[in-house]
Amino acid sequence: MESTFYLNPALFTDRETLLLENGSMKAYAFQYSTGVKAIRVENEKGYFIILPYQGQQVWRAEFLGQPLVMRTAFEEPVPTLDYLSTYGGFLLHCGVKSMGNPEPGYPHHGELPNAPYQTAFIVSGEDEKGAYIAVSGHRQCNIGFTLNYRFTPECRLYADGTVLHVKVTLENLRGYEMPYMYLCHINFRPIDGGELIYSTKYDKEHITVCKPPYAENPTAEQKAWYDYMDAVQENPSLHHKVGEPGQCYDPEICFIVRYLADENGMAHTLQKLPDGKAFYVSHPTEALPVGVRWISRTKDEESMGMALPATAEHHGRSHAEATGQMKYVAPRSSISFSLVAGILEADCAKKVEEKIQEIVK
């Protein structure tokens, strides 16, 4: 049985308001000092905070006493459409018209990350996994003679859960085929002493470092960055132990990971923490065939984007068109896919690690 509670912007004030309960779970509405509206969904193991009217992005998440989100200069979300002017969230939807590098007419990671939503709602219910609370909404984009789509994400937390179940539905409302791109930008925190473990072979055929054009007269810092990228391309395992001497992620390094899937078509990625718990992403390789890895460790930001599941590489729309990586939704039709992101307790992390070992045999 499931019930839906439609949100009204008037519900959001500087004081938290309890909107609903489902067993031990609760959902609260509040507003940041910047004016951005937010929902906090909590269970006995932690919580996530989502911005229902601004991109439906997950701004914060913490479970088992462990903050998941990247270290960032943004304490609160900012009401803006510009990607980098409020870049501090844990999970952001990127697309639909473009994704990745900006180019004329197509902003950085597309129109979705901070897009306004016309409708937002909370769903409460119970299924075979137990009681849950989910936050969802509709964002419709209608441009005459061009495109008309409805994008509907859902972020669901179960009563005993420490991971977020994220579902995406994209509807093409026009009578013409619609090209699209999508990337789920999941920004974990790098934990020194952790280890990256994931379902592919650790070789140059399955892992590619995306190297920028090298400067003609590089500084010492740039040369160290270039040298590290060259070394990792030759031996990808060099970046698996988080925080090892010689690693260089300032300003960033991007990888393309060609994942192997399990019997259900799902790929798996862990950042195994020193205490045995693990940050975790699982995604469908048919709907999201490209795994982008983005690691950044500067003096002001630190992010372990260990798995950004995507429809294409992150080089922008023109590159996707030129390389045949665009995907399409049939006229007056829709596509849906689901992924998981969060943290696993040590015993669950060990089981996933064993599953990964089976996949890559």
Which tens digits make up the pLDDT trace of 130-153?
999 999 999 999 999 999 999 999
Q: Residue 100: which of 319, 336, 327, 352 has the closest Cα?
A: 319
d(CA 219, CA 217): 7
What confidence tier does 5 reach under pLDDT thresholds 50, 70, 90? very high
Tallying the residues shown for the chain, one arrives at 361
What is the β-pairing status of strands 130-143 and 147-158?
A: antiparallel
- Condensed to tens digits (0 to 9), the pLDDT of residues 32-45 reads 999 999 999 999 99
For 85-104, write each residue's pLDDT tens digit: 999 999 999 999 999 999 99
% the chain with pLDDT above 90: 98
Q: Which residue in 66, 196, 81 sits closest to 139, CA to CA?
A: 81
pLDDT of residue 9: 95
User: What pLDDT does residue 318 have?
Assistant: 98
Please say if the pLDDT value at position 284 is more than 80.
yes
What is the pLDDT, as a whole number, of residue 163? Answer: 98
pLDDT in tens, 333-355: 999 999 999 999 999 999 999 99
Q: pLDDT grade, residue 1 (50/70/90)?
A: confident
Tens of pLDDT along 15-27? 999 999 999 999 9
Dihedral angle over CA of 128, 267, 315, 146, nearest 10: -40
Q: What pTM does this model have?
A: 0.97
What is the reported pLDDT for 175?
98
Question: HSE-up of 205 (CA within 13 Å, CB side)?
Answer: 3
CA distance linking residue 39 with residue 241, whole number of Å? 35
